[in-house]
Structure 1
Amino acid sequence: MARIATLTLNPALDQSTRTDKVRPTHKLRCAEPRIEPGGGGINVARVIHALGGEVTAVFPCGGPTGTTFEKLLRDTGVPIAPVPIAGTTRASLTVDENETGEQYRFVLPGPMLAEAELEQLLQAVIADSPRYVVASGSLPPGCDPAIFHRLCGLSGKIGARLVVDTSGPALAALERGCAWLVKPSLREVEELVGRELAGDAEQFAAARELRGRGFADVVVVSLAERGALLVAEGTELRLPAIEVPAGSAVGAGDSMVAGLTLALAANKTLGDALLYGIAAGAAALLTPGAELTRREDVERLYSAALARGSMQNRS
């Protein structure tokens, strides 16, 4: 199986808990918190590791929060390549409200990274000699949105495929041939093409447009509860979501990227890889709080979906 490296430029120490009701000005008595290392690429690496893949997580690490973060990530068994920084690793908080079942997610901005720290992170990714590089999550404050263009150039030099899952200016900056695969949400695609996309035909057309504008060779659009679609050279696929009991959505998108990339690293077809990614994302909904996908859930959901033959091929 091909080796994978993940890059997380803005990791977070994820804390999750529960309280009866979220109310302003009141002290909210919460349950014992669950504390885990998080951030887009960190979550992707943890899921890939849990699913049996070969992966190294590259990330900046600093301050007391960073020390705790690194220890917790080491405890998961994920191979890591932390890069020391002058700033302090951020924290985030997820609170589930018992009374309504609603979930509240509080996300802090994170530290600024110096140019030398950014260069160290990029070089740490390449030093691992991966076949796939996954850059996932938000950028730290003040970071040039074109950072992934630099990563693309470095990945190309070692023959690695770059998979990017990001948003905002960093996503917009992928135009003109940066990534091998990009996974925006439907809302993000609508923002990029400047129009609402009402149905499959319009959504496929928009994905083709992104390919034409050089965002990536492969465009995967996450449709949330409606599944996902994929557009590549000679291939267009639309897969429905896998229905599971609703749970915490934390890490669902990252789990999808992890499953998709791992399947590609195992030489599965684009269709099978997308289905495996959908299964991994659905499996994340079965776990509480910030807990990520379990391998047995992914395999069970994938096998059942494969048996149903639910894939729609438009190639």
Structure 2
Amino acid sequence: MKTIATLTMNPTIDVSYDVGKVRHTHKMRTDNEHYAPGGGGINVARVFARLGGHARCFYLSGGATGPALDGLIDLHRLVRTRIAIAGPTRVAADVLEHDTGKEYRFTPAGPHVSEAEWQDCLDQLAEADCDVMVLSGSLPPGVPDDYYARVSRMMRQRGRQVVLDSSGKALAAGIAEGGLLLIKPSQGELQQYVGRKLEDVAAIGNAAMEIVESGKARLVAVTMGHEGAVLARAGGPVFLPALKIDAASAVGAGDSFVAAMVHALCRGDDELQAFRRGMAAGSAAVLRAGTDLARPADIERMLERIAPL
């Protein structure tokens, strides 16, 4: 079984609450308060570890909220390497309104990271002992747009495979660097990357195949929310429709997808089976409100409902 490391440049303390009704001005009493360590790479590591894999988290942490994030990561028993920064770790809120069943999500931009701090992160990543490096999440203010591309280049020079899940300029720079095992854009992120509207599954598959055929990535998994997902690979694109389930939350579905797909690839599953497991994990993540992410038992239940490829 291969091991992974994850990089989270802009982690969060994820706070979730339930409230009867969201109203402006009024003080709203909440219940079901829950705190979890968050951010793309940390979420991936949480699910990957639940599935029995070994993952080390590299992440930035600072300010008065930094120790709280460190403690939450320890509570989840994740192996971690903390890169200290001066700015405070951001706190994101997820609020479920019982009256409507709607979810409200509030996510700050994150702290400013100095050149000395992001360079320190690069230096520590050079010592990463893993088979696969997962680069996931947004870049905080102050970090150059090509940061993931720089990390990817360094990892591949050391014989590590790289998975990228980001958006905007960070995604574009990472793809331009090339040599990726897997990228996982959403439909919207892929549209932004290619600069055109992708109206249907065929258009999404064609756009994703352009990346594969250019040699930039071996696999491109494009998630489409309640419509399903497309996997582009050397053998051509394949589509899986979304399962019909009552979604309680959208938090962490993409990260759970990445974690389960990478876990399957790391244990030797073929790419189609890994894609199915990713779909099952994404579906499992939305079954529960808040920030709990996918659970193994739920993944297996969802997998039974996904047609074989």
TM-score (norm 2): 0.94
Q: Is the 2:96–2:289 contact (alpha carbons within 8 Å) kept by the matching residues of 1?
A: no
Q: Give the AA of the match of 1:22.
A: V
2:171 corresponds to 1:171: yes
Which has the higher mean CA deviation after the structures are superposed, 242-251 or 72-81? 242-251
Which one-letter code corresponds to 2:251 in the other structure? Answer: V
Q: Please name the residue that 1:20 is paired with.
A: 20
Instruction: List per-residue Cα deviations over 1:198-217 (Å, max 9, x = no partner).
Output: 22221211112233556423
Residues 11 and 209 from structure 1, CA distance in 2 versus in 1: closer, same or farther, beyond 3 angstroms? same
Q: In 1, Cα distance between the equivalents of 2:222 and 2:213?
A: 15
Aligned equivalent of 1:231: 232
For 2:193 and 2:214, the matched residues in 1 are separated by: 10
- Report Cα offsets for 1:150-187 as digits up to 9, x if no partner: 11111112211111111122122224233331111111
Residue 141 (structure 1) aligns with: 141
CA–CA separation in structure 2 for the residues paired with 1:226 and 1:125: 37
Contact persistence 1:284–1:294 (CA under 8 A)? yes
1:121-156: CA deviations, max 9, x gaps?
A: 234334232111111111101211100111111111
| Runs of 4+ deviating beyond 6 Å | none
State whether structure 2 residue 290 is matched by structure 1 residue 285: no
Q: Do the aligned partners of 1:263 and 1:276 also contact (CA within 8 Å) in 2?
A: yes
Shift of 1:304: 4.2
Deviations 1:19-54 (A, max 9, x none): 111122222222242111101111001010111111
Name 2:130's counterpart in structure 1. Answer: 130
Query: Contact between 1:182 and 1:215, CA under 8 Å: does it hold in 2?
Result: no
Q: Does the CA-based 8 Å contact 2:48-2:260 persist in structure 1? A: yes
Which residue does the alignment assign to 1:59? 59
Instruction: Give the secondary structure class of the aligned counterpart of 1:93.
Output: strand
Q: Counterparts in 2 of 1:24-39, with a 5 A limit?
A: 24-39=24-39
Instruction: Give the Cα separation in 2 of the matches to 1:23 and 1:284.
Output: 28
Matches within 5 A, 1:89-128: 89-128=89-128
Question: Which one-letter code corresponds to 1:241 in the other structure?
Answer: A
Structure 2 residue runs of 5 or longer lacking an equivalent are none
Q: What are the Cα deviations for residues 53-109 of structure 1, in whole angstroms up to 9, with x where unaligned? A: 110011011122110111111111111111111111111111111110111101111
Q: Would the aligned equivalents of 2:3 and 2:266 in 1 still touch at CA under 8 Å?
A: yes
- Tell me what 1:267 maps to: 268
Alpha-carbon distance between aligned partners in 1 of 2:123 and 2:268, rounded to the nearest angstrom: 26
Whether the 8 Å contact between 2:90 and 2:108 is mirrored in structure 1 is yes
Is 1:255 equivalent to 2:242 in the alignment? no
List per-residue Cα deviations over 1:276-314 (Å, max 9, x = no partner): 111111111122211111111112222443xx42x2xxx
Counterpart CA distance in 1 for 2:201 and 2:281 is 23
SS of equivalent residue, structure 1 residue 180: strand
Task: Report the equivalent of 2:82.
Answer: 82
Give the CA RMSD over aligned residues: 1.6
**In structure 2, C-alpha distance between the alignment counterparts of 1:74 and 1:58, rounded to whole Å:** 13
Indicate conservation of the 8 Å contact 1:10/1:139, yes or no.
Answer: yes
Q: What is the one-letter code of the residue matched to 2:103? A: Q
- CA–CA distance in structure 2, aligned partners of residues 105 and 21 of structure 1: 15
The alpha-carbon deviation at position 236 of structure 1 amounts to 2.4
Letter matched to residue 253 of structure 1: G
CA distance in 1, matches of 2:194, 2:152: 23
CA–CA distance in 1 between the matches of 2:304 and 2:266? 19
Q: Is the 8 A contact 1:176 1:213 kept in 2?
A: no
- For structure 1, the residue ranges without an aligned partner over 5 or more in a row are none
Q: CA deviation at 1:194?
A: 2.3
TM-score by length of 1: 0.93
Identity score, percent: 40
Please say if residues 249 and 288 of structure 2, whose CA atoms lie closer than 8 Å, have aligned partners that are also in contact. Answer: yes
- Count of paired positions: 308
Tell me the SS of whatever aligns to 1:14.
Answer: strand
